[in-house]
A = this chain, B = another copy of it.
């Protein structure tokens, strides 16, 4: 390569990496040689010396079944991929659903294959988080890591306030008996949205009116049936995710309840499913694009040796459609 362009290895390297101290002539010669020989840098060799791999791993801390069903992950991943690409870093995905997976991910990371980690959907007490901390690898989470909020910086929607917005809205619509279907309570979305619900309803948020789902469509369906059994006279329900809300709508239809006439249904996320349910789902919009953008920014800062960045919490927005 140095020979092909008639300059030294050092100059080639400088030209390729945009070093300003390269003459126009040399730069042109290198450019030409690259085209002629179809040259591609060997990233391993580069990594060996720079200690950088140019790749970031997005780790999905969730049994795969659930994960993939949720359109939010798509969006998060797509946006992150794009943002990282502008800095010329690749995003790869790994799933850490069980112990075996987790060990593999840690091995991969310890092998020095990545410069940083983007954590998705961590549950409280996930052992992967501890492993990551001891690796001292830059890591940022989408959504708080319960219990490690001070350690792992994150970007997240304001789940609690979002839940309040929706619950308040249901109350304002004159609903008297409002239930909720939560996500898993060891996730920030599960926990904080329930808290927001309780903030508004106070003592009216009885245990009977709270059912736990698992962020899947089927989980929402099952939880809705359960709620109808426990409180047949409920007239409103705040569901902790759009996908679960879609399941809840199916259950309500099956049980002959009209939405929103008999029961008002509010979702959370404003994901693609919200726009394809019957009736269209009234929901809380999460600024997922911005969550992804911010996480990527923070991770890149961390990788560049910056201080631990401040976590950011982004505002949500009520989106009123037909179901409430």
Contacts and interface: CB of A to CB of B under 8 A. Distances in A.
Interface of A: 40-45, 47-48, 53-55, 57, 64-65, 68-69, 71, 73-74, 77-78, 81-82, 85, 90-95, 97, 100-101, 104, 107-108, 110-113, 218, 250, 254, 272, 276, 278
Nearest to A135: B40
A43 B111 contact: yes
Contacts of A68: 68-69, 71, 73-74
Contacts of A55: 108, 113
Nearest to A69: B69
Given A43-B112, A78-B97, 20 more contacts: A40-B111, A42-B48, A42-B111, A43-B111, A44-B44, A44-B45, A55-B108, A64-B77, A65-B71, A68-B68, A68-B69, A68-B73, A68-B74, A69-B71, A82-B100, A85-B100, A85-B104, A93-B94, A250-B250, A254-B278
B81 A101 contact: yes
A37 to B, nearest CB: 14
21 contacts: A42-B48, A44-B44, A45-B48, A55-B108, A55-B113, A57-B92, A64-B74, A65-B71, A68-B71, A68-B73, A68-B74, A77-B95, A85-B104, A90-B94, A90-B113, A91-B94, A92-B108, A93-B93, A93-B94, A250-B250, A254-B278
A246 B253 CA distance: 16
A78 to B, nearest CB: 6
Given A64-B77, A68-B68, A77-B64, A40 B94 contact: no
Contacts of A100: 82, 85
A48 B93 CA distance: 23
A64 B71 CA distance: 9
A66 to B, nearest CB: 10
B65 A112 contact: no
A167 B197 CA distance: 50
Given A93-B92, A101-B81, A104-B90, A112 B64 contact: no
Contacts of A254: 278
A68 to B, nearest CB: 4
A254 B253 CA distance: 10
Nearest to A71: B65
A81 B102 CA distance: 12
Contact of A65 (B45, B97, B218, B272): B272
Given A93-B93, A104-B85, A48 B44 contact: yes
A63 to B, nearest CB: 9
Contacts of A71: 65, 68-69
A111 B46 CA distance: 10
